[in-house]
Amino acid sequence: MLRITDILDKTQSYLTPADQEMIEKAYVFSATVHQGQTRLSGEPYLTHPMEVAGILADMKLDAATIITGLLHDTVEDTLTTTEQIEAAFGRDVSFLVEGLTKISKITFGSQEERQAENFRKMILAMSADLRILIVRLADRMHNMRTLNFQPREKQRYIATETLELYAPLANRLGINWMKVELEDLSFLYLHSDAYHEIARRIDKKKEQREQYTEEVRGIIAKEIAKYGLRGDVEGRAKHFYSIYTKMNSQRIDFDEVYDLIAFRIILDANKDKECYEALSIVHALWKPVPGRFKDRIAMPKANGYRSLHTTVIGPYGERVEIQIRTRQMHEWAEEGIAAHWRYKERRVDLGSDDQQIMKLRELLEVQQEVQNPREFMANLKLALFPDEVYVFTPGGDVKSFPKGATPIDFAYSIHTDVGNQCIGARVNRSIVPLKYELQNGDTVEIITQAGHHPGKDWLKWAVTSRARSKIKNWIKAEESKRSIEIGREILEREFRKQNLRFSQFLRSDEFKKICEEQNIATPDDLMALIGYGRISAKHIVNRFAPETGVKAEEAAVDRGRKKPKGVASLGISLTGIEDVLVRFAHCCDPIPGDEIVGYISRGRGITIHTSQCANLQELDAERFVEVSWNIKEKQTYPVDILVICQDKKGVIAEVSSVISSLDINISHAEVETTQDLRAICNFRVDVHDLGEFNRMVAAIKKVKCVLSIERTKKS
């Protein structure tokens, strides 16, 4: 069992005594809270955090990371709180432990393969600081090393998760040794027969292979030394899982021992130039296999990996794979981000045009100025991975969205109907508003209601193009539905006026003819065209009763005040709808300048109200349409005012003359005198717009004896 002194020995060379003291303190803390707990192996539970801390110390990570290794299971498995950890070890450590507690709750389970990438991204996104992920990988590494104590089922489950999630994550961070070990251990538990078969075959020719390895190694070493290059040459068997995948993807002959060996030249000097020199030495020695050379120095991998790769025809006519790199490149290749973390004071030159690497490089260049390690890691993560949020469906699938996405985006990602009928959402079991911004790791459940539909606000909250286009489509379809409704009402009304039956018309040959003439497919299309004002209803009706058309129109005069007119002549514009039947509501008598709304009335086209009109509240909200004033020719609009004044002789005449002096016509006046000697005067006047009306009110106010003036509201 690893002891705390072992960990302190590992860290002594690079950590301060104060850091070491904190690690010791964390050890005591962890031992205390895990006391009495045991692992399946029968060992005290403490062995696990100790081994994890040991792995992190071997990677020469900073004190906070090692302390986090010691404490990583305390919040999850004991009564310890994050607050206690913060009080004892500071914010940095408690932040890391909190992050680990969070990601330990993500379980991949028996997800389908296609989900794996989303899960990986989610874990990355939730590792707000990459040290969280590194500790998680060390945690998984020790659990994999001790997997034999788990029951069979659990072994398969954990091994699958490791192979699908954690080995690729180790690879993405460039930590090759972890990737290799995690893959081989997973392979052992998932395909143990194949694993042991490969092990047996490799072992069988061990002596022969070692002899061969030594021979090739010697030739290369001698040759590069001859040209004055200093470095080491390694030859080793590839890891089992890579042999296994190679066996599955291409024919591999086990009798050819060379197929299992890869050679590596590691040059001492930190010079790219020497790698290319070594390459030309090897190529002069043995004939290169065409198409097998890869320049990963000029074009590094996204995780920062750099090396030259080549395959040559070796001394026995066999294919020999060779990697060439500097010691610094080697360090990065094996330890990736962890190596960078350790040598953050040292500049790592990544040299490449690759965009991601460029970003990484920029960060490495500025990082000397960034004192806060968390900020640096957050930046690094942002540079490596796009800014997305990952959330769970109630079924445990992961979905990714751009940052800022809301439950509306989530709902439309499931199905258009779910989106359209979405009325709210439950996130982590509590109700949130539709504009709630999704957070990493949220479990999102959409609440729908049949018959519900998108609101205009939704376009403000939806960020995915899918959701936005679905909402727009719905609004467009709704507008066309409305114009069909309006068109039908207009047409039915015209038919009624002529005492003609609308249903008969729809079945008539004349109707078919009209449709053919206008190139219309369905009755609804015709109604829509009438609703939009592209076809005149009168024109259609006249084909049935041409001689009475005009007369009937006059009969429609509404209370003798104003006959219904087309939109244009009333000086109104309607959003998306032209030339439909329009009338002004008498309850509020809108005049230009008033804020107005339209209401689709049954059988009478659209009625215009002021938006303050009290009657609006009783109307069906579904039937409102947006309208605005669009004055084409000056005309007057009637409006009622109530003037209360002291009942004195001549005062009414005076008010009347003030109105007339402004060139405003009074079409109606009514005066009533009360017991308390006040005169209540009702005037109906014709004004051009609200400005004129207001000027009139101001003028009347100046008349002595006038007590109050108001625009009459009827309800």
Instruction: DSSP for 97-148, please give it.
Output: HHHHHHHTT---TT--GGGHHHHHHHHHHH-SSHHHHHHHHHHHHHHHHTGG
Q: How far is the CB of 52 from Mn ion (least distance, A)?
A: 6
Closer to Mn ion at the Cβ: 185 or 308?
A: 185
Helices 130-145 and 152-161 cross at an angle (nearest 10°) of 150
Q: How far is the CB of 73 from Mn ion (least distance, A)?
A: 5
CA atoms 198, 203, 208, 214: torsion sign: positive
The answer to whether residues 82 and 91 touch, using CB atoms and an 8 Å cutoff, is no
Catalytic residue (one of 6, 77, 437, 647): 77
Phi, psi (deg, nearest 5) at residue 422: -75, 130
Q: How far is the CB of 72 from Mn ion (least distance, A)?
A: 6
Q: How far is the CB of 339 from Mn ion (least distance, A)?
A: 24
3 state SS of 503: helix
Q: How far is the CB of 104 from Mn ion (least distance, A)?
A: 7
The answer to whether residues 428 and 369 touch, using CB atoms and an 8 Å cutoff, is no
Closer to Mn ion at the Cβ: 40 or 382?
A: 40
Instruction: DSSP for 576-640, please give it.
Output: TB-S--EEE-TTT---BTB-EEEEE-SSS-EEEEETT-GGGGGS-GGGEE-EEE--SS---EEEE
Closer to Mn ion at the Cβ: 101 or 439?
A: 101
Positions in the binding site for Mn ion (CB under 5 A): 73, 139
d(C-alpha 165, C-alpha 159), whole Å: 10
Closer to Mn ion at the Cβ: 73 or 689?
A: 73
Q: How far is the CB of 172 from Mn ion (least distance, A)?
A: 21
d(C-alpha 419, C-alpha 405), whole Å: 14
Catalytic residue (one of 21, 43, 76, 214): 76
Helix (H) or strand (E) holding 281: helix 272-285
Type of residue at 409: D
Q: How far is the CB of 76 from Mn ion (least distance, A)?
A: 8
Closer to Mn ion at the Cβ: 70 or 645?
A: 70
Question: Is 77 known to be catalytic?
Answer: yes
609 contact partners, CB below 8 Å, separation of at least 6: 585, 587, 588, 590, 596, 597, 598, 599, 615, 616
d(C-alpha 385, C-alpha 387), whole Å: 7
Could you tell me the end-to-end alpha-carbon distance of the chain, in angstroms, rounded to an integer? 88
Output the residue with the shortest Cβ distance to Mn ion.
139
Between β-strands 319-326 and 261-267, what pairing exists: parallel, antiparallel or unpaired? Answer: parallel
Question: Is 161 known to be catalytic?
Answer: no
Phi, psi (deg, nearest 5) at residue 574: -115, 135
Q: Which pair of tokens denotes residue 313? A: 């025809």
Closer to Mn ion at the Cβ: 140 or 470?
A: 140
Closer to Mn ion at the Cβ: 73 or 492?
A: 73
Catalytic residue numbers? 76-77
